[in-house]
Structure 1
Amino acid sequence: MNKVQNNKKNKTSIIKNKKLITFKIPATSANIGSCFDSVGLALDLYNEIHIYSNENSKKIEFEIIGEGENEISKDDNMILDAMKLVYKKLKSKPDKGYTIKCINRIPLSRGLGSSSAAIIGGLLSANYILGNKLSIDYDILNMSVQLEGHPDNVSPAILGGIISGVVIKDEDFKYVKINPSKNLKAIVAIPNFHLSTEVARNALPKEINFKDAIFNISRAALLTSALSSNRFDLLEVATDDKLHQDYRAKFIHGLKDLFKQTKNAGAYSVTISGAGSSILSLVKNDEEIIKKVSNAMKESLAKKKINTEIMVLNIPSKGIIIK
């Protein structure tokens, strides 16, 4: 009898605390060499946020599974901070309890947009809970850009594809979306060490010389043109950079050799992903080339005794997925 009663109680609890919505937010890779803080692309590696009703509580409770489950606080985190900004903007708060279950697959502090995914997830969650009063492709997009501080991570996570954009004034983000070619694959080498964005940014000079600025501007213009016209033969030159990668190379031992070996293996381009420590290669969608480039990246880092996870990913044309 007791067993039957317990089963009944558990079943009732599951029904009451039903799943309401799911958000899938992709990883991103920013800068793409020459386009510092201005171009990024989506990757089909997703964090998931599942929102459940919670009849047993009147507050927001978190469950965290996967990346960062032992590091991220359930009481003070980036998702909750972003949610509070939506409450402030809409001048409203939840009138009942919810459980937010986070399934994290994007590695933390590896230059793959984990913080962007958290910010976007918080904005989307609060917006849903308060009745979807904010538009995703304008309000959520602009809020996420302001919170992140630069657009090249959050914008492709929301919009998908390859995004080239700039912030005009405080809340006006102008961008062009480049739909990715099916002939282009992304290979990401993820070293087994963290590199915080703050540390990586502090390594950059306060001023740059005119010659370096022209070097990057010319290549950034070429990069966006090459990506939009599928001129992948131009990517090696177009991703050359003098503004950030050389200054950050000291954090990733053997980076120059890795770049050389990866290009020799057949990659169109190889760049630091975001602030690092991950490395992004763009390659032809060819099984043999993918294998050669993957091995070259892994072996180059192994020479420096750096264990590395290799992921072969698509560049999805769609950003966040809502179920």
Structure 2
Amino acid sequence: MRLAADAVRVLVPATAGNLGPGFDALGMALGVADEIEVRAVASSSVTMEIEGEGADTLPRDESHLVVRALREALDHVGASQVGLHVRAINRIPHGRGLGSSAAAVVAGIVAARGLIAEPEALSAEVALDLATRFEGHPDNAAPAIYGGATVAWTDESGAHAVPLEVADEIETAVLIPRSVLPTKQARSVLPSLVPHKDAAFNVGRAALLVNALAGRPEDLMPATEERLHQQYRAEVMAATPAMVAHLREQGLAAVVSGAGPSVLVIGTDLASLGLGTGTPDWAAGIGDETWRCVHTIEHVPGATSVRL
């Protein structure tokens, strides 16, 4: 397959995985996005400009996730590899449970889609399957691709996802601490086996959450209870359970965002409850942390690309 464009700009949103009980299955796009600009150049080299998150730590060569995913996508459709100039404006916080690695992978795949002559060869379904090979699980990649809220799963044929209905009144707010927690560390504390009663508990709550998102916000508190991962991860992110407990005591449906340590709140009219975008005074010192908030009201679209 040939390339049909020399340059493309991609926007890809942050995401919250799990949404509490939907471990490795449920996810939602959030109102902050990375911007990636990719230009094909007549050489075999890779040059990168990085602004924002990770500007001092991320690689600027073939090992960067955006580049790796883009090259994998080009190989998948049989397109020629080219030299690349990549400019990344990273707004999604890293190591906070907001899907920054999934965003980078999806950005690379969607950039490849924007460059090739037949973009349908990298459909949403194909993009999700490719992204899941990088991520190992589809709960962040799915909303990064489809937008809104999604449920995703894998089987012998690969990864799949469908969008979920989310009522217009449903909003999210994510409280982001200064501290970081690598996903690998957060997963390392999870047990290999869980009690059957806990698995059954989560199945019921995840099903209830799907219904609550569709227009029954009064059920969000019970629907966001869970027993498969948050209690085990508490030992590696002490401030997070303190914030979750504080919010739930106020009647707010708070959960760990993805692998943490950020905290996601799902509800209605959240700004009036002190969860508008900014640095809420009431949050200062909870768990001996400093917190900032990102409030999302409207439906967040999945990754988009524009040829330049």
Compute the TM-score of the two structures, normalised by the length of structure 2. Answer: 0.89
Amino acid at match of 2:176: I
Instruction: Tell me, yes or no, if the aligned pair for 1:29 and 1:41 is still in contact at 8 Å.
Output: yes
Q: Against the structure 1 CA distance between its residues 53 and 168, is the aligned structure 2 distance closer, same or farther, given a 3 Å change threshold?
A: closer
Partner of 1:99: 85
Matched, 1:271 2:255: yes
Mapped to 2, the partners of 1:62 and 1:316 lie a distance apart of 31
Q: Secondary structure at the match of 1:128?
A: helix
Amino acid at match of 2:191: P
Instruction: Tell me, yes or no, if the aligned pair for 1:43 and 1:315 is still in contact at 8 Å.
Output: no
* Unmatched 5+ stretches in structure 2: none
Instruction: Answer 1 or 2: which has greater helix percent.
Output: 1
Q: How does 1:87-126 map to 2 (within 5 A)?
A: 87-95=74-82, 97-126=83-112
* Unmatched 5+ stretches in structure 1: 1-17
Q: Which moved more, 1:187-196 or 1:245-254?
A: 245-254
Matched, 1:148 2:139: no
Deviation readout 1:77-103 (Å, 9 max, x if unpaired): 1112212322332334235x4311111
Q: Secondary structure at the match of 2:288?
A: coil
Amino acid at match of 2:226: D
Q: Secondary structure at the match of 2:88?
A: strand
Mapped to 2, the partners of 1:98 and 1:154 lie a distance apart of 23
Partner of 1:245: 230
Q: Against the structure 1 CA distance between its residues 255 and 104, is the aligned structure 2 distance closer, same or farther, given a 3 Å change threshold?
A: closer
Identity %: 29
- How many residue pairs align between the two structures? 299
Instruction: Tell me, yes or no, if the aligned pair for 1:298 and 1:310 is still in contact at 8 Å.
Output: no
Matched, 1:306 2:289: yes
Matched, 1:129 2:112: no
Mapped to 2, the partners of 1:117 and 1:94 lie a distance apart of 22
Instruction: Tell me, yes or no, if the aligned pair for 1:186 and 1:282 is still in contact at 8 Å.
Output: yes
Compute the TM-score of the two structures, normalised by the length of structure 1. Answer: 0.85
Q: Secondary structure at the match of 2:140?
A: helix
Partner of 2:154: 167
Deviation readout 1:213-234 (Å, 9 max, x if unpaired): 1111111111112112x11111
Mapped to 1, the partners of 2:248 and 2:281 lie a distance apart of 9
Deviation readout 1:139-162 (Å, 9 max, x if unpaired): 112211232111110000110111
Amino acid at match of 2:290: N
Partner of 1:14: none
Amino acid at match of 2:16: S
Matched, 1:233 2:212: no
Task: Tell me how far 1:199 sits from its aligned partner.
Answer: 0.6
Mapped to 1, the partners of 2:12 and 2:292 lie a distance apart of 21
Amino acid at match of 1:63: E
Matched, 1:81 2:73: no
Task: Tell me how far 1:315 sits from its aligned partner.
Answer: 5.2
Mapped to 2, the partners of 1:214 and 1:296 lie a distance apart of 39
Q: Which moved more, 1:120-129 or 1:40-49?
A: 120-129
